[in-house]
Structure 1
Amino acid sequence: MGSLSSDSKVESGPDLGNIKDVAVIGAGISGVVSAAHLLRAGFNVTVFERTGVVGGVWDYEPQPDRDPPFPNVRPPSPNWAEVEKEGLSSNEVALIHGPPNPCYAGLKNNIPTPIMRSSLLQWPEGSEDLVDQKVVHQYIKDIAHIHNVYEKISFHTRVESVSKPDGDDKWTIVTSTLTRTKSGHTLTKRTWKFDAVVVASGHYHIPFVPDVPGLPTWKRLFSDRVTHSKQYRTPVPFSNKTILIIGAGVSALDIAKETSHLGAKIIQSRRESKYDVLVSRLPEGVERVAMVAEFIPDTVDGESKSQPLEPGQAIPGKVVLEDGKVLEGIDHVIIATGYITSYPFLGDLEQPLTPWEDADEKVLITSDGYITHNLHKDIFYIPDPTLAFIGVSHLVSTFSLFDFQAQVAAKVFAGQAQLPPKSIMQEEHRERKARFRPGDRFHSMFAAEDAYIDKILNWVNRDLTKAGVDPLPGMDEVWKRNYKVFQQRLKGTSDS
């Protein structure tokens, strides 16, 4: 029987060095819990938030973001200099520099509070399973206050570049801070150095607008009548109107519910997916139809500019569906087809023209605008794990899972838990991609995040035990019990 020679070496995991200073990008729930856990672990933390508040998508602002391009199907190239255009008011600059989030006034959580919570704070006593946006927003702000995150946040500061040149042992971050003044505003650039970076910027910034024939024409001609769901704020403008909603996700469901209460007639068009909201959850009277094939405006000779419509006047044109059915008399079109994942500050790690199948072992974002490539356990950037991502995973218990991921990142950054060798992480990632099929969502943990958590706990706690450190507790019994019920609902074994 053979034996290893004395000079044989077992490949070890990556050496992350002595991490002290950590940047966190974003002050939504992912950024707040990341900062809190890192602070508890003794790191020097700086949080960059481009708006003026914590809370991310749970911060309601009546002012919506600007319209996206029609169509908008891949990650856009950043245009950081846009805020410096001559003639812009301070309000216009603020809208570009720190765009509003997609939160609408009636937003509620769709994950029950018993399984959507941080380990850092319980929900207030007596909280219902589903609460409104103000309650959720306050919960995030309370975590930030209690765990001293606020004093670490640079507000109105957007991150424009994150890079680590070859041979450098620190990340270089370039930021722009907007400051209002009596005479207008100033923009201040600054360069920072960090040992590690946590990207917690979320997924809900860049609307995905499908490339449907005729849709750009309808948007140009009837601009106020054709919008993305990111612009939706309240149902009032849609009272007693006929609305075509494209998409079958949660925002489509919420908009259908809110507007139908005010007498709107809802037609929902979508391309079938196993992730569609069940038709049984839609309000009574909603008509679910095939995907739109084409938008056709009525012919208007010489008209290429916006056509103002009279109140009560339907859009003059017809919508042809993929099954040949024709819709007319539509008052509003709402595109609720989701968002493009983009990290514009990561430079050439984002390659919007590269198909996802052609991603190399360095790229993070490709043309699909969904998969974040080359991550170990959806957290650590394999080529350099001092770059971590919190909140990439989809169809999860959000607050709970992101809090858990933040705890894991803190343990790895502290050197208490060791990542596998780079070759093993790469092989695991390749195998995961090999299992991926069109129509799936790469980061979805649909009804399976408990298994994900258990695998990570086995790895991390083995190392923590060796280091003489208390193990991570994972999810408590209340979470596990409620997650089982939620899991059964997701799998369709119980009615929702």
Structure 2
Amino acid sequence: MASQDISKIKSVAIIGAGISGISAAAHLLLAGLDVTVFERSGVLGGVWHYDARRPLTPPFPNVAPPDATSQYKQTPTGLTADEASVYHASPGPCYAGLRNNFDSAVMRSSLLEWPEGTEGTMAALGVKHYIESLAQTYDLVSRVRLWTRVEAISKPVGASQWNLRSQTFSQAAETFNFTTNNESFDAVVVASGHYDIPRVPDIAGLANWKSRFPDRVTHSKRYRVPSDFKNSTVLIIGAGVSAYDIARELDAVGCKTYQASRDPSRADRARLEGMPESCERVPGVSEFILDETVATSGTATSPLEETQTIPGRVLLTDGRDLKGLHHVILATGYVTTYPFLGELEQPTLPVHKADNKVIITADGSTVHNLHLDIFYIPDPTLCFIGVPVNTSTFSLFDFQARILARVWKGEARLPPQQEMQRIHMERKARLKPGDKFHSLALQDLAYAEGILKWVNADLEEAGLQPLTAFDDKWHEGFKALRAFVESVRPDLDLTIPLVHTS
């Protein structure tokens, strides 16, 4: 393998102080690099930090990365300090009852064990404390710049460093201030996660329902507590973890729920997640239709009384109608975006027109031109931690950070750029772009072992100790998880080879 010229990397900017960013910072610091972590909020922990405040309401619909005119890229004038802080760092998707859905045995860093007696699942606060403990153990807290949002990164042609512009929010009583800072770094790690900007599908009539009854239609990112929906009839659209969590929480406060999913391949997820009897699974939604008297009454609509249902019906793809709904919750995922990437993010470029430089296109799902979902192929001094989905998260991201540290330290060598591009294009040809493009689907071990083939070959050649992907505790926990999934989804083929590493 030809070696990339990364020997001059000394200073590293890391964007995000969730598990991905803290894992990367810890391993890079241990490798002897100087790290600075930029965190736009006021705390460590990423999505595991509960903030009772609601994030910004997304546009309806919202299916592409934000452009220059988006509310996510502009801060209005005349805001209070608290409102300005929400625009600067929108509260995350953590709801009060959130718990980890993967056992802690397969969800941990190689650098830190969970405290003695930790149960397999726990409240979000316990997970947040774990991330904070990791940062404290490796002296990272002083390296994290809180309330500092990265606005732009760029690397001029021929330059040896990345230019980074950040904005820091500060508040004193009811006054606030923004301070801009410009710096340069040898390398940049993007670890800002997946769960920032809600994806709102373009379903006929949905925007009209939202404009008429804004308090009755929301995205799951704004969901906080089930008591807001007590004794209501609620339509939940989506088939991910949040959809099932919310359905279970609403069951406990006397709600009748419908869970709509357009993807039949996820039909058995209800058994997998233990859906309550009060939740009825229905097919996808075709249209939101208001009653004629409301539809013809202009744009202004009086707020509904708490017990009133939305005056309309929801047409399903099988022709049935749902009526008598009090609320609609869209658990429809998120748009993948890195708004600080400049020209490397093209919000209007169709996914199939991505060249060998762009990273984000209009689909808002595919992260292009990454080798192993980590290294930016045109310039591996830009890397990403935490891109894969449907993984053992903490453990997998820790593994990625270990690989990154070995490469940037010069102990393992990347293939030539042309070879990395060939692997990436082969992967694109074989896998469907979008969410599934970055899904490991319980193939964490295959992904890791494929990477270790070349990493360990380089380490052994240099007389260094080879790496292992995961420890015995992880293997035991992951074996149990895989067996459970296979028992409820016998139709899944978990032997399909990955093309990430070949």
Q: TM-score, normalised by structure 2?
A: 0.94
Query: Which residue of structure 1 aligns with residue 497 of structure 2?
Result: none
Structure 2: how far apart are the matches of 1:81 and 1:89? 17
Letter in 2 for 1:100: P
Query: Which residue of structure 2 aligns with residue 5 of structure 1?
Result: none
Query: Which residue of structure 1 aligns with residue 307 of structure 2?
Result: 312
> Which range is displaced more, 369-378 or 349-358?
349-358
> Which range is displaced more, 151-160 or 174-183?
174-183
Query: Which residue of structure 1 aligns with residue 321 of structure 2?
Result: 326
Query: Which residue of structure 2 aligns with residue 469 of structure 1?
Result: 464
Query: CA 1:209–1:85 in structure 2 vs 1: closer, same or farther (change >3 Å)?
Result: closer
Pairing 1:408–2:398 present: no
Query: Which residue of structure 2 aligns with residue 369 of structure 1?
Result: 364
Q: Check the 8 A contact 2:344/2:357 in 1, yes or no.
A: yes
Superimposed CA distance per residue, residues 230-267 of structure 1 (whole angstroms, 9 cap, x where no aligned partner): 00001001111000000011000000000011110011
Letter in 1 for 2:49: D
Pairing 1:173–2:142 present: no
Superimposed CA distance per residue, residues 80-126 of structure 1 (whole angstroms, 9 cap, x where no aligned partner): 89665331111111000011010000000011110001111111112
**Superposition pairs of residues 120-269 of structure 1, within 5 angstroms:** 120-182=111-173, 184-269=175-260
Secondary structure (helix, strand or coil) at the match of 2:265 reads coil
Query: CA 1:40–1:64 in structure 2 vs 1: closer, same or farther (change >3 Å)?
Result: same
Query: Which residue of structure 1 aligns with residue 18 of structure 2?
Result: 28
Superimposed CA distance per residue, residues 318-348 of structure 1 (whole angstroms, 9 cap, x where no aligned partner): 1111111011100000000100100000011
Secondary structure (helix, strand or coil) at the match of 2:479 reads helix
Structure 2: how far apart are the matches of 1:306 and 1:220? 9
Structure 2: how far apart are the matches of 1:215 and 1:402? 36
Structure 2: how far apart are the matches of 1:269 and 1:494? 19
Secondary structure (helix, strand or coil) at the match of 1:23 reads strand
Residue 195 of structure 1 and its aligned partner are, at CA, apart by: 0.5
Secondary structure (helix, strand or coil) at the match of 1:410 reads helix
Superimposed CA distance per residue, residues 116-174 of structure 1 (whole angstroms, 9 cap, x where no aligned partner): 01111111112111111111111111111111111101100000101101011100000
Residue 440 of structure 1 and its aligned partner are, at CA, apart by: 6.5
> Which range is displaced more, 273-282 or 195-204?
273-282
Superimposed CA distance per residue, residues 405-458 of structure 1 (whole angstroms, 9 cap, x where no aligned partner): 001111111111100111111100011011023787000000111011111112
Structure 2: how far apart are the matches of 1:426 and 1:239? 52
State the number of aligned residues: 485
The one of 321, 327, 340 equivalent to 1:345 is 340
Structure 1: how far apart are the matches of 2:57 and 2:158? 41
Pairing 1:17–2:7 present: yes
Letter in 1 for 2:460: T
> Which range is displaced more, 282-291 or 243-252?
282-291
Structure 2: how far apart are the matches of 1:442 and 1:393? 9
Identity of aligned residues (%): 51
Superimposed CA distance per residue, residues 202-224 of structure 1 (whole angstroms, 9 cap, x where no aligned partner): 00001000000110010001000
Q: Check the 8 A contact 1:80/1:160 in 2, yes or no.
A: no
Query: Which residue of structure 1 aligns with residue 281 of structure 2?
Result: 288
Residue 13 of structure 1 and its aligned partner are, at CA, apart by: 3.5
Pairing 1:39–2:34 present: no
Secondary structure (helix, strand or coil) at the match of 2:178 reads strand
Q: Check the 8 A contact 2:360/2:367 in 1, yes or no.
A: yes
Residue 292 of structure 1 and its aligned partner are, at CA, apart by: 0.8
Structure 2: how far apart are the matches of 1:249 and 1:41? 37
Structure 2: how far apart are the matches of 1:306 and 1:91? 29
Secondary structure (helix, strand or coil) at the match of 1:224 reads coil
> Which range is displaced more, 164-173 or 264-273?
264-273
Structure 2: how far apart are the matches of 1:429 and 1:53? 36
Residue 226 of structure 1 and its aligned partner are, at CA, apart by: 0.2
**Superposition pairs of residues 79-94 of structure 1, within 5 angstroms:** 85-94=76-85
Structure 1: how far apart are the matches of 2:357 and 2:73? 29
Q: Check the 8 A contact 1:250/1:277 in 2, yes or no.
A: no
Query: CA 1:307–1:469 in structure 2 vs 1: closer, same or farther (change >3 Å)?
Result: farther
Query: CA 1:368–1:312 in structure 2 vs 1: closer, same or farther (change >3 Å)?
Result: same
Residue 473 of structure 1 and its aligned partner are, at CA, apart by: 2.8
Structure 1: how far apart are the matches of 2:368 and 2:356? 8
Structure 2: how far apart are the matches of 1:183 and 1:414? 46
Secondary structure (helix, strand or coil) at the match of 2:98 reads coil
Query: CA 1:233–1:142 in structure 2 vs 1: closer, same or farther (change >3 Å)?
Result: same
Structure 1: how far apart are the matches of 2:302 and 2:323? 18
Structure 2: how far apart are the matches of 1:82 and 1:324? 40
Structure 2: how far apart are the matches of 1:330 and 1:265? 9
Secondary structure (helix, strand or coil) at the match of 2:436 reads coil
Structure 2: how far apart are the matches of 1:272 and 1:494? 15
Secondary structure (helix, strand or coil) at the match of 1:296 reads strand
> Which range is displaced more, 17-26 or 463-472?
463-472
Letter in 1 for 2:62: N
Residue 400 of structure 1 and its aligned partner are, at CA, apart by: 0.2
The one of 68, 84, 87 equivalent to 2:58 is 68
Q: Check the 8 A contact 2:236/2:258 in 1, yes or no.
A: yes
Structure 2: how far apart are the matches of 1:366 and 1:28? 24
Pairing 1:54–2:44 present: yes
Letter in 2 for 1:20: K
Structure 2: how far apart are the matches of 1:126 and 1:297? 53
Q: Check the 8 A contact 1:115/1:400 in 2, yes or no.
A: yes
Letter in 2 for 1:46: T
Secondary structure (helix, strand or coil) at the match of 1:74 reads coil
Poorly superposed stretches of 4+, deviation over 6 Å: none
Structure 1: how far apart are the matches of 2:72 and 2:399? 37
Pairing 1:429–2:424 present: yes
Structure 1: how far apart are the matches of 2:71 and 2:356? 27
Gaps of 5+ in 1: 1-10
Structure 2: how far apart are the matches of 1:439 and 1:289? 24
Letter in 2 for 1:428: I
Pairing 1:392–2:383 present: no
Residue 276 of structure 1 and its aligned partner are, at CA, apart by: 5.7
Q: TM-score, normalised by structure 1?
A: 0.95
Query: CA 1:446–1:255 in structure 2 vs 1: closer, same or farther (change >3 Å)?
Result: same
Letter in 1 for 2:252: H
Pairing 1:109–2:100 present: yes
Query: Which residue of structure 1 aligns with residue 374 of structure 2?
Result: 379
Residue 197 of structure 1 and its aligned partner are, at CA, apart by: 0.4
Secondary structure (helix, strand or coil) at the match of 1:267 reads strand
Q: Check the 8 A contact 1:68/1:206 in 2, yes or no.
A: yes
Q: Check the 8 A contact 1:83/1:97 in 2, yes or no.
A: no
Residue 490 of structure 1 and its aligned partner are, at CA, apart by: 2.8
